[in-house]
């Protein structure tokens, strides 16, 4: 009989690996969508819909799979979820019309629900004081977005875009089997079978859940949206080929996944509120700089007119996006630390609601990116939109958390009055 420590880490490693593959599949259209756009002659809005469609299903399914995880255990739900995507992934390779990709993308998007299952499944194997780290390590599976950007372009250039879904279907099937072999049943599954549907649905009436959902819509939804959008952005804005564009985009995706474990440790150490507050401020500053569009202006001087150009180079954009990726990685872990601290007995459904909000952000943002580019012709309008979302999150956090905390401190430690 394996020891509890072995089971704990075996579950965490196997779940993280499985989630990485699920995220690779979820982000697949970020790469294969570029040649598909050219073949089908799609506009920017259609392209945004193409790459975001899998994210929609993966978002909406998070609440029900979170409930199923609380009731039936993470192992069986995770396994069935992975198996259900194998055939739809393969079918993508046979698609030839725009609606074919939309329909198959909806089925493939089920892979995105793996996050909600895995986050609750892994958290229950660890004591509360280490749950932030455990969830952070599992969340590092977000690096599947970077893996896709490193692997898929090479497959596209060597064998064509249709080879990518064929390879990914075989990979998903293999990893599903390995996951089942190296994981164990949820240690507290029996206790969570007593949670009723009504109790689970009460999460939708808790204002804190919606606030955390707003935070997550930017740190996760924004991460997904940019991971999907940036390869095309580099191709269009700077004229790079797909391989170079995907490589530069991967520099954003890699910290967004790998550093999530560090974010979990930060949240365990300093608390979810403090970490999330600084994450949003760092993101706001970087997105402000990224929002400024390339501009040429002329000044009439005594020596004649002089024209100046202001704009970010590809290198500067990549550096700023790397910083945003680091901030988002830490923020994804800190937001879920709120959940493990405040909802220890109902992690599955709460993480499902918050995860759904984050996923919906990942669906709507790329579509809105395309709409804004079509309407304004300004590619940096995508960053303008994200700047507004981060600002909204900061204001909500200020009025809901920062001001009440400051008032509580003043009541606890009133200033001393000095008399002369």
Cβ proximity of 238 and 249 under 8 Å: no
Q: What is the model's pLDDT at position 411? A: 62
CA distance 83 to 81: 6
Instruction: Check pLDDT > 60 for residue 278.
Output: yes
> The tokens 């790469």 sit on which residue?
31
Give the confidence band of 160 by pLDDT, cuts at 50, 70, 90: very high
pLDDT exceeds cutoff 50 at 375: yes
What does the pLDDT read at residue 126?
83
Please compute the mean of the pLDDT values over residues 368-381 and round it to a whole number: 91
Correct CATH for 4-183+195-409 of 1.20.1250.20, 3.90.1300.10, 3.40.50.2020, 3.40.140.80 = 1.20.1250.20
The tokens describing 9, both together, are: 């880490």
More confident residue, 257 or 419: 257
Cα angle 327, 25, 167 (rounded to 5 degrees) comes to 135
Q: Which residues of 164-188 are buried (b: 16+ CB within 10 A; e: fewer)?
A: bbbbbbebbbebbeebbeebbebee
pLDDT of 383 > 90? The answer is: yes
Of the ranges 93-97, 188-192, 346-350, which one carries the lowest mean pLDDT score?
A: 188-192
pLDDT on residue 420: 37
pLDDT tens-digit series, residues 39-81 = 999 998 899 899 889 988 888 888 788 778 877 888 999 999 9
User: What does 308-369 look like in DSSP terms, one character per residue?
Assistant: EEE---HHHHHHHHHHHHHHHHHHHHHHHHHHHHH-TT-HHHHHHHHHHHHHHHHHHHHHHH
Task: Output the pLDDT for position 192.
Answer: 46
The mean per-residue pLDDT over the stretch 277-300 comes to: 91
Residue 189 has pLDDT above 60, yes or no: no
pLDDT digits (tens, 9 = 90+) for 4-39: 788 889 999 999 999 999 999 988 998 999 899 999
- The residue among 102, 111, 115 whose CA lies nearest residue 27 is 111
Report the alpha-carbon distance of residue 213 to residue 226 in Å, rounded.
18
Look at residue 191 in the predicted model and tell me its pLDDT: 45
Q: Does pLDDT of 391 surpass 70?
A: yes
Instruction: Read off the pLDDT band of 256 (50, 70, 90).
Output: low
Least confident of 54-68, 194-208, 253-267, 322-336: 194-208
Computed over every residue of the chain, the mean pLDDT equals: 85
Average pLDDT score over residue span 357-370: 87
As a whole number, mean pLDDT of residues 261-274 equals 82
**pLDDT tens-digit profile of 83-139?**
999 999 999 999 989 999 999 999 999 998 898 888 888 888 888 777 777 877 887
Give pLDDT, residue 223. 87
The whole-angstrom separation of Cα 160 and Cα 154 is: 9
**Paired tokens of 310:** 């202001």
Tell me the mean pLDDT in the region 322-329: 92
| C-alpha pair distances (Å), 240 with each of 77, 235, 267, 382 | 41, 5, 38, 19
Instruction: Express as a percent the part of the chain with pLDDT over 70.
Output: 90
Residue 417 has pLDDT above 60, yes or no: no
């Amino acid at each position: 009989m394996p020891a509890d420590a072995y089971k704990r880490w075996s579950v965490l490693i196997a779940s993280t690996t499985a989630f990485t593959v699920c995220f690779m599949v979820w982000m697949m259209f970020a790469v294969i969508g570029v040649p598909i756009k050219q073949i089908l002659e799609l506009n920017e809005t259609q392209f945004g819909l193409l790459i975001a469609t899998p994210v929609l299903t993966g978002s909406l399914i998070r609440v029900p799979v979170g409930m199923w995880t609380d009731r039936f255990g993470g192992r069986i739900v995770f396994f069935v979820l992975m198996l259900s995507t194998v055939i739809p992934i393969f079918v993508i390779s046979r698609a030839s019309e725009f609606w074919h990709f939309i329909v198959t993308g909806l089925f493939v998007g089920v892979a995105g629900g793996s996050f909600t299952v895995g986050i609750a499944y892994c958290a229950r194997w660890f004591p509360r004081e280490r749950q932030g780290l455990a969830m952070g390590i599992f969340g590092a599976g977000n690096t599947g977005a970077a893996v896709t950007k490193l692997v898929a372009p090479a497959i596209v250039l060597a064998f064509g875009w249709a080879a990518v879904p064929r390879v990914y279907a075989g990979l998903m099937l293999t990893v599903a089997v390995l996951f089942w072999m190296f994981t164990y049943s949820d240690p507290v599954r029996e206790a969570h079978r007593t949670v009723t549907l009504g109790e689970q649905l009460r999460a939708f009436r808790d204002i804190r859940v919606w606030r955390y959902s707003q935070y997550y819509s930017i740190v996760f939804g924004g991460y997904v949206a940019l991971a999907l959008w940036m390869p095309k952005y580099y191709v269009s804005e700077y004229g790079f080929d797909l391989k170079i564009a995907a490589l530069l985009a991967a520099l954003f995706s890699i910290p967004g996944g790998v550093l999530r474990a560090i974010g979990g440790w930060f949240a365990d150490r300093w608390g979810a509120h403090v970490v999330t507050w600084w994450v949003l401020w760092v993101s706001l500053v970087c997105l402000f700089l990224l929002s400024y569009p390339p501009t040429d202006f002329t000044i009439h001087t005594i020596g004649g007119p002089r024209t100046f150009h202001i704009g970010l180079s590809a290198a500067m954009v990549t550096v700023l996006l790397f910083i945003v990726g680091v901030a988002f990685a830490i923020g994804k872990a800190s937001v879920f630390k709120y959940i493990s601290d405040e909802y220890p007995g109902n992690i599955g459904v709460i993480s499902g609601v918050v995860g759904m909000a984050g996923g919906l952000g990942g669906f709507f943002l790329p579509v809105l990116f395309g709409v804004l580019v079509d309407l304004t012709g300004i590619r940096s309008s995508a960053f303008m939109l994200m700047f507004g979302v981060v600002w909204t999150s900061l204001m909500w956090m200020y009025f809901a958390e920062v001001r009440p905390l400051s008032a509580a401190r003043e009541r606890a430690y009133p200033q001393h009055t000095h008399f002369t």
